[in-house]
């Protein structure tokens, strides 16, 4: 098998992880723990499966849509391209992005073939990363080749790498890079399964006085296994005769700290995928925790989901016309508890940067009439009436100047106030309003003449 993979005189091929795995060989994938780790066997490890499902499900179920920038504002694009909601025949948007993320998380590469016709994009097909290789031609241009030797132009292929070393075209697989940690986790699971499957608490040897033939020794071992091997025969009493003695040679799980080791293996896998251990059901004392679910979600979105979301947005935005882009909405994941949201909304209304309908949209509620008006903190008035305080201060200053003897018209002009007509009624500071004759208001000035 190895000879077929080595370069010949007329055919030069690179001996890669993909070629060895595709050939069915496992010698290069065996770990020091004695387990064989491939991308398929890695998914059978419980913690790996949980991490992949957590990330892929969280991102694939997010709302996504096309947007464009207009005068600094992000506006949705209508109508939406059909391939966003139906990337391929009988494949929904959620299934499509889930396939992309599984390929990206396990293989380190996601290959999406773009199918076009005269009307534009008609399908997006997620390819098996095992069957795609990346090459450069004599001019340094990148092209892709499938296992059927079909060459795909880079304009018809979206390649999303996870982590790519300098100078490399293909992303690195974390399964291949960290197979020793995964091998240890797989060995611990296999050990636990075999321990309970055998039904014996420990391993050991039978010490027998005198010499035994090969057939006699085999008969004793077979008798012990028939009586005690298997979960159904666990803890059955045994009898050794003729001076035989059971000598313990193994270590029981408590002494071997099997539970602690399996716990640590889960934490190592969570670290590989940058998943919060609490989301995998790990409650190790002393592990980092957050004061609220909201803080835990912010950490998860920022450090776990955001790198993959940005990669997807950059890749799929290339399929839209210039000036448009794809955006995933993570507001639902960052939404706090009801009390926290109510406090934020209250501050937004009083600060004048949230309206009633803005809040209704964030809470998926119907808009209300008049709810688009923004308000200011002072007495919760309309934003258009926010100059009432300034107006009140200018009127108060004008009043003081007029009382001090300044000419009213000049005072109004100096204060920037519009001219107003006086009724002719003397100020109540000079005469009580009850003593003024409405028919002859000037009579109050003739008293005493």
pLDDT at residue 428 is higher than 60: no
In eight-state DSSP terms, residue 169 is S
Pair (112, 160) in one structural domain = yes
The domain containing residue 348 runs over which residues?
337-385
Pair (131, 191) in one structural domain = no
Domain termination residue (choose one: 258, 284, 318): 258
Tokens 């420990």 sit on residue: 202
Q: Lowest-pLDDT range, 154-163, 303-312, 347-356?
A: 347-356
Q: Lowest-pLDDT range, 198-212, 213-227, 393-407?
A: 198-212
pLDDT at residue 376 is higher than 90: no
Pair (159, 285) in one structural domain = yes
* pLDDT at position 293: 66
Residue 50 lies in a domain: yes
Domain termination residue (choose one: 207, 223, 258): 258
Beta bridge partners of 65: 327
Helices and strands in the chain: count of H runs, count of E runs: 18, 11
Read off the tokens for 273. 């995928």
Read off the tokens for 442. 């000037």
Reported as a pLDDT band with limits 50, 70 and 90, residue 166 is: very high
pLDDT tens-digit readout, 167-211: 899 999 999 998 888 888 888 777 777 666 655 455 666 666 767
The rounded Cα 417 to chain-centroid distance in angstroms is 57
The mean pLDDT value of the chain amounts to 78
Tokens 């107006």 sit on residue: 391
Residue 11 lies in a domain: no
pLDDT tens-digit readout, 65-78: 999 988 877 889 98
The stretch 122-139 carries a mean pLDDT of: 93
Pair (316, 370) in one structural domain = no
State percent of the chain over pLDDT 70.
68
φ, ψ for residue 142 (rounded to 5)? -85, 140
In eight-state DSSP terms, residue 434 is G
Provide the whole-model pTM. 0.66
Reported as a pLDDT band with limits 50, 70 and 90, residue 242 is: low
Pair (288, 345) in one structural domain = no
Pair (295, 440) in one structural domain = no
d(CA 38, CA 228): 34
* pLDDT at position 107: 95
pLDDT at residue 255 is higher than 90: no
The stretch 88-104 carries a mean pLDDT of: 94
pLDDT tens-digit readout, 294-329: 777 888 999 999 999 999 999 999 999 999 999 999
Q: How many CB atoms lie within 10 A of CB 69?
A: 11
Pair (356, 422) in one structural domain = no
Pair (327, 436) in one structural domain = no
Residue 2 lies in a domain: no
* pLDDT at position 324: 95
Residue 174 lies in a domain: no
How many independent structural domains does the chain possess?
Answer: 4
Reported as a pLDDT band with limits 50, 70 and 90, residue 441 is: low
**Maximum average pLDDT range among 115-119, 340-344, 363-367:** 115-119
Residue 125 lies in a domain: yes
The stretch 368-375 carries a mean pLDDT of: 85
The stretch 130-155 carries a mean pLDDT of: 92
* pLDDT at position 159: 97
* pLDDT at position 320: 95
Residue 219 lies in a domain: yes
φ, ψ for residue 44 (rounded to 5)? -85, -5
Q: Lowest-pLDDT range, 2-16, 147-161, 415-429?
A: 2-16
pLDDT at residue 230 is higher than 70: no
d(CA 316, CA 312): 6
Query: When comparing pLDDT for 272 and 383, which is higher?
Result: 272
* pLDDT at position 6: 41
* pLDDT at position 251: 54
pLDDT at residue 57 is higher than 80: yes
Q: Lowest-pLDDT range, 144-153, 213-222, 255-264?
A: 255-264
Tokens 């939404």 sit on residue: 335
Helical (H) or strand (E) element with 428: none
The stretch 214-229 carries a mean pLDDT of: 70
Pair (422, 411) in one structural domain = yes
The stretch 415-433 carries a mean pLDDT of: 68
Q: Lowest-pLDDT range, 124-133, 204-213, 242-251?
A: 242-251
Pair (67, 107) in one structural domain = yes
Pair (373, 398) in one structural domain = no
Residue 396 lies in a domain: yes
pLDDT at residue 379 is higher than 60: no
Cβ atoms of 19 and 157 within 8 Å: the answer is no
Read off the tokens for 132. 């795609």
Residue 7 lies in a domain: no
Pair (219, 186) in one structural domain = yes
Beta bridge partners of 30: 36
pLDDT at residue 241 is higher than 80: no
Domain termination residue (choose one: 334, 349, 364): 334
Reported as a pLDDT band with limits 50, 70 and 90, residue 349 is: confident
* pLDDT at position 280: 83
């Amino acid at each position: 098998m190895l000879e077929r993979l080595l370069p010949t005189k007329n055919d030069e091929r690179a001996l890669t992880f993909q070629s060895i795995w595709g050939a069915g060989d496992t010698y290069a994938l065996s770990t020091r723990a004695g387990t064989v780790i491939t991308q398929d066997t890695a998914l059978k490890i419980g913690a790996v499966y949980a991490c992949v499902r957590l990330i892929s499900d969280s991102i694939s179920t997010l709302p996504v849509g096309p947007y464009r920038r207009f005068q600094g504002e992000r506006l949705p694009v209508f109508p939406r391209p059909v391939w966003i909601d139906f990337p391929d025949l009988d494949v929904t948007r959620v299934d499509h992005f889930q396939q992309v993320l599984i390929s990206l998380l396990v293989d380190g590469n996601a290959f999406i073939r773009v199918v076009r016709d005269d009307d534009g994009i008609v399908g997006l097909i997620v390819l098996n990363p095992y069957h795609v290789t990346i090459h450069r031609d004599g001019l340094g241009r990148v092209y892709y080749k499938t296992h059927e030797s079909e060459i795909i132009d880079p304009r018809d292929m979206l390649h999303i790498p996870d982590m790519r070393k300098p100078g490399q075209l293909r992303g690195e697989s974390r399964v291949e890079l960290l197979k020793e940690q995964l091998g240890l986790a797989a060995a611990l699971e296999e050990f636990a399964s075999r321990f309970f499957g055998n039904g014996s608490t420990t391993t050991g040897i039978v010490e027998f006085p005198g010499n035994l033939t090969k057939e006699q020794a085999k008969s004793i071992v077979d008798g012990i296994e028939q009586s005690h091997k298997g979960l159904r025969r666990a803890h059955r009493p045994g009898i050794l005769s003729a001076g035989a003695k059971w000598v313990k040679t193994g270590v029981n799980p408590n002494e071997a700290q099997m539970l602690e080791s399996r716990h640590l293996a889960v934490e190592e896998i969570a670290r590989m995928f940058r998943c919060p251990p609490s989301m995998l059901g790990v409650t190790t004392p002393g592990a980092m925790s957050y004061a609220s679910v909201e803080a835990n979600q912010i950490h998860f979105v920022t450090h776990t989901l955001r790198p993959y979301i940005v990669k997807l947005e950059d890749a799929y935005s290339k399929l839209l016309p210039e000036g448009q882009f794809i955006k995933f909405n993570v507001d639902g994941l960052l939404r706090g508890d009801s009390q926290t949201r109510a406090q934020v909304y209250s501050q937004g209304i009083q600060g004048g940067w949230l309206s009633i309908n803005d809040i209704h949209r964030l809470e998926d509620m119907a808009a209300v009439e008049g709810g688009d008006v923004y308000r200011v903190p002072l007495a919760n008035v309309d934003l258009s009436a926010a100059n009432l305080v300034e107006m009140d201060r200018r009127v108060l200053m004008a009043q003081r100047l007029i009382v001090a003897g300044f000419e009213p018209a000049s005072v109004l002009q100096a204060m920037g106030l519009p001219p107003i007509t006086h009724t002719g009624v003397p100020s109540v500071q000079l005469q009580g309003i009850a003593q003024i004759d409405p028919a002859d208001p000037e009579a109050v000035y003739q008293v005493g003449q």
